[in-house]
């Protein structure tokens, strides 16, 4: 099967580069590179989730010939969720399992004010508070100036996203959260269960919002266990 991995805001396919060697042969890691980063540095990043998901579906259309699962962290969780719904609507496809990580369920209203348009000093302070940008990058003015347009675009995309109600998915959903993540409560993560008619699981990991970096092996092990359990009846 294929496991498509989507990064958090400001992240890239490199976030998951070590997963390739950690996954068993039965699971092929497909690291999705969004516009504006890595090998797609010159591509203009999207500022809205809907066209980003539509472009992603077109770009990956040739890769859905095998059973597949979707994993996304933070912004990537919403991309994965909306991609699963788009594939259901337009192609009658669904993933073996949807993994949503570091993000509360989209039907739960958020109270935080948008930050994507903050003046630069306040925006940099927000990045430091989130602890997802390495300190050496924050302290490198030239590098930050190069990265800020991408990060702002990603923040705008996720912070202006509006959930539209549809029937629940029929694939299982697994939600992951960080025990020290102040961004989303356990209740907000647990609300993902409302968006599937199949099974649901919630697992909390040590660490803050970026527990997928600090507890990478634990996260990968949990994904592998869920996926191998998903395909076991068909073997």
| Rounded Cα–Cα distance for residues 94 and 83 (Å) | 9
In a domain, 218, yes or no: yes
What sign has the CA pseudo-torsion 226, 218, 56, 209?
positive
The pLDDT, as a whole number, for residue 234 is 46
Number of structural domains the chain divides into: 1
Q: Which residues pair with 69 in a beta bridge?
A: 3
Asked, for residue 208, whether it belongs to a domain, the answer is yes
Q: Does residue 118 lie within any of the structural domains?
A: no
What amino acid positions are annotated as catalytic residues? Answer: 74
Place of tokens 């369920």: 105
Reading the block at residue 104, the tokens are 């509360």
148 lies in a domain? no
Q: Which of 219, 224, 208 is nearest to 16 (CA)?
A: 219
What percent of the chain shows pLDDT beyond 90? 70
Residue 235, helix vs strand vs coil: coil
Using CA atoms, how far apart are residues 149 and 152, in angstroms rounded to an integer? Answer: 5
Q: Is the pTM of this model over 0.85?
A: yes
Q: By mean pLDDT, which of 47-56, 121-130, 159-168, 189-198 is the weakest?
A: 121-130
The CATH number linked to 220 is 3.40.50.1820
Compute the distance between CA of residue 223 and CA of residue 167 in angstroms, rounded to an integer: 25
> Residue 92 falls within a domain, yes or no?
yes
Domain coverage including residue 221? 2-109+165-230
- Give pLDDT tens digits for 92-106: 999 999 999 999 999
């Amino acid at each position: 099967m294929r496991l498509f991995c989507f990064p958090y805001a400001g992240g890239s396919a490199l976030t998951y580069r070590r997963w390739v060697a950690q996954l068993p042969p039965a699971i092929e890691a497909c690291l999705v590179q969004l516009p504006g980063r890595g090998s797609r540095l010159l591509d203009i990043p999207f500022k809205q989730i809907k066209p980003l998901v539509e472009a992603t579906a077109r770009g990956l259309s040739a890769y859905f010939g095998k059973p597949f699962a979707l994993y996304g962290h933070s912004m990537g969780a919403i991309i994965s969720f909306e991609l699963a719904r788009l594939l259901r609507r337009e192609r009658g496809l669904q993933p073996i399992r949807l993994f949503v990580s570091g993000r509360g369920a989209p039907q739960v209203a958020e109270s935080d004010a948008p930050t994507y348009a903050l003046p630069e000093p306040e925006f940099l302070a927000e990045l430091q508070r989130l602890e997802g940008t390495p300190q050496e990058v924050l302290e490198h003015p030239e590098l930050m100036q190069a990265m800020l347009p991408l990060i702002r675009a990603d923040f705008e995309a996720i912070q202006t996203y509006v959930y539209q109600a549809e029937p629940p998915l029929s694939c299982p959903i697994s939600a992951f959260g960080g025990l020290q993540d102040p961004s989303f409560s356990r209740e907000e993560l647990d609300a993902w269960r409302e968006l599937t008619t199949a099974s649901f699981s919630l697992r909390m990991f040590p660490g803050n919002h970026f527990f997928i970096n600090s507890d990478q092996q634990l996260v990968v092990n949990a994904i592998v266990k869920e996926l191998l359990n998903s395909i076991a009846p068909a073997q």
